[in-house]
A = this chain, B = another copy of it.
Amino acid sequence: MLRKVGYKDIKREVFNRIRQNEWAPGELLPGEVVLAAEFGCARATVNRAMQELSDDGIIDRRRKGGSRVKLTPVRQATFEIPLVKSEIESKGAIYTYQLISSIKEVAPLWLQKQLSLSAYTRVQHIQCIHYADDRPYQYEDRWINHNTVPLSAEFDFNTQSPNEWLVNEVPYTNAEVRFSATISDVKIAQALEMANGEAVFKAERTTWLSDEPVTFVTLYFVKGYEMLISY
């Protein structure tokens, strides 16, 4: 006996037709009513399938315009931005952390530009190292906007890393990360206990709370670090 078709069946079938070029990039797909008739199910079921395909970046949908196959049906990969602590512990290592400095100061010019801050905005500048099994794992160089996060001026970052504290205490609405490769300079090399001139994986993250910059952080990962994404 034939099983009832579910939205997952429809999703798979439509995806296959797209993959096999039965429906080519840019092409207008049949409407939900038509597909519902073909698959013998309710329109709502087709709707859910198509909506997820849209979320997955396979098709574009517009009211009245209908659904069409994306011109570049790029698959989207999702990856999680974990807490360093969780990341380290999930590898079975013991997490420790050391604060190097926490200074209240006026935002330097480059940071003003980077975060579109007004002049003389005060920021908290924090530098620290995250360890996995007592070996350096990540060097964190962070700036927190006093205007949006006044509490940062008082908190004792010896007890908890700014990373963890912010995640737990300060919400954000949107963020941006820039990944790149760089060469270890003296400061980084010393902090991460590696030679000078080594390849370092670098991440620069900025977060905002409804257009107000919250924090800017540069993370330097120890030599050999890999960021893995499956999809």
One of A35-43, A105-113, A134-142, A175-183 at the interface:
A175-183
Query: Judging by beta carbons under 8 Å apart, are B174 and A227 in contact?
Result: no
Complex CA distance for A104 and B178, rounded to whole angstroms: 37
A1 at the interface (CB under 8 A from B): no
Query: Which DSSP category, helix, strand, loop or mixed, fits chain A's interface?
Result: strand
Q: Which residue of B lies closest to A172 (CB)?
A: B75
A151 at the interface (CB under 8 A from B): no
Q: Which residue of B lies closest to A227 (CB)?
A: B179
**Interfacial chain B residues near A74, Cβ < 8 Å:** 80-83, 86
A201 contact from B55, B174, B179, B198, Cβ within 8 A:
B179
Complex CA distance for A230 and B194, rounded to whole angstroms: 31
Query: Judging by beta carbons under 8 Å apart, are A231 and B83 in contact?
Result: no
**Interfacial chain B residues near A179, Cβ < 8 Å:** 179, 201, 226-227, 229
Complex CA distance for A47 and B79, rounded to whole angstroms: 24
Binary per-residue interface labels of chain A (18-56) against chain B in the complex, 1 for a CB within 8 Å, 0 otherwise: 011000000000000000000000000000000000010
Binary per-residue interface labels of chain A (184-224) against chain B in the complex, 1 for a CB within 8 Å, 0 otherwise: 00000000000001111110000000000000000001001
Complex CA distance for A72 and B82, rounded to whole angstroms: 8
Min distance, Cβ A110 to any Cβ of chain B, angstroms:
16
The complex is assembled from copies of this chain, and their number is 2
Query: Judging by beta carbons under 8 Å apart, are B177 and A201 in contact?
Result: no
Complex CA distance for A182 and B224, rounded to whole angstroms: 8
Complex CA distance for A86 and B227, rounded to whole angstroms: 24
Extra contacts besides A74-B81, A76-B80, A177-B228 (14): CB < 8 Å: A55-B55, A72-B86, A74-B83, A74-B86, A75-B80, A76-B78, A76-B79, A77-B79, A178-B227, A178-B228, A180-B225, A180-B227, A183-B198, A197-B197
Can you pick out 21 interface pairs between chain A and chain B where the beta carbons lie within 8 Å of each other?
A57-B80, A72-B86, A74-B80, A74-B81, A74-B82, A75-B175, A76-B78, A174-B230, A174-B231, A176-B228, A177-B228, A177-B229, A179-B201, A179-B227, A180-B181, A180-B199, A180-B201, A180-B224, A180-B226, A181-B182, A183-B197
